[in-house]
Amino acid sequence: MNARELNRATLARQGLLERAKLGVAEAADRFGGLQAQEARPPFLALHARLDGFEREQLAEALRAGDVVRAMLMRATLHIVSRERYAQLRPALDDVMTRAMAGALKGRDEGLDLEKLLPAATELLKAQPRTFNELRALLSERFPKVNERALGYAVRTQLPLVMVPSDDAWAFPRDTPFALPKGRLRKADRERLVRDYLAAFGPATAADAQRFTGLQGLKPVFETLRDELVTFKDGRRELFDLPDAPRPGEEAQAPPRFLADFDSLVLAHDDRSRIIADEHKPKIASKNLRIPAMVLYDGFAAGTWRIEKKRGVATLVVTPFAKLPRGAAKQLEPEALALAAFAEPDAKSHAFELA
């Protein structure tokens, strides 16, 4: 398979060739989890992928507990269904432990997880708490341990979910955390690999490892080999589910606007199926922020932002290179729809190609 075929296969299962008609919980899982380091991007991600999506649909699903926002892949925040969280979180224990070890190196003197985690659990059973509150309370019990170390150890070693609110994007800046409802399942890496391929395949073991943050997934792929299909991309061996969509390189890809940190951009070790190698330096940043990008003909063609001035919300696209003739006309309807979705209180909305 070439890059264009891989592009179309991945876009098809991401709802980016044709918007899907799915409920929020099903969509969050079908698309491999919604990257949610910040509150707004998951809403924008669903706007790009679901037919007729309204902001309140995700907010209601969060408040009802149908979906949860929690630390998952790569020890970063994602939104998945409550059921998927119970399956996925135990499979990522190693990711959380390595994240903790890396973050606390040199700051973990006196840290005793066997005492800390029961104490934190007791405090969280009493009521949801922000980490500012939790760190302060834990510091009273463990005064000789670095306060930040206490907080990060709890964040990574206890399964926790964020508590939604009535804020515009469902979460305040300083969000309380709570223990999840229900029991977690037994760790199942085979299920994790199947779900990953359903959302982002065809892909390599290295791709799955990069997205999840897990190491040692190659043996899992080998165990599943007989029930998967394989393809070649140069020297790379790609795995996929037999019945997953692979529409071919001639499939039409309409313009779509991806959110900041969109999972599509973070899903593979080799990202050439989404963004050309020559454009990668244009999205590099010291703080590792992945900017909001626009897809044109299925590939990342530039970044976008919304500028607000005198009541007008203007979606501005900055291309990576000169776009083909007629591209602005094709981008405009999608851009205006997104500007209206993201800034509903603006007096008017506009589109500009920088």
Q: What is the pLDDT of residues 290-336, one digit of tens each?
A: 999 999 999 999 999 999 999 999 999 999 999 999 999 999 999 99
pLDDT, residue 288, reads 76
Structure-block tokens of residue 131: 């980490």
| C-alpha distances in Å from residue 185, one per residue of 91, 191, 235, 326 | 9, 12, 37, 51
pLDDT, residue 289, reads 87
pLDDT, residue 118, reads 98
Task: Return all residues near 263 (Cβ < 8 A) that are at least 6 apart.
Answer: 31, 32, 33, 34, 35, 45, 78, 199, 211
Are residues 297 and 304 in contact, defined by beta-carbon separation less than 8 angstroms?
no
pLDDT, residue 284, reads 79
pLDDT, residue 11, reads 98
Rounded to two decimals, what is the model's pTM?
Answer: 0.96
Distance from C-alpha of 162 to C-alpha of 177, rounded to nearest angstrom: 4
Identify the segments of the chain with pLDDT beneath 70. none
SS3 (DSSP) at 182? coil
Task: Return all residues near 284 (Cβ < 8 A) that are at least 6 apart.
Answer: none
Burial class (CB in 10 A: 0-12, 13-18, 19+), 118: exposed
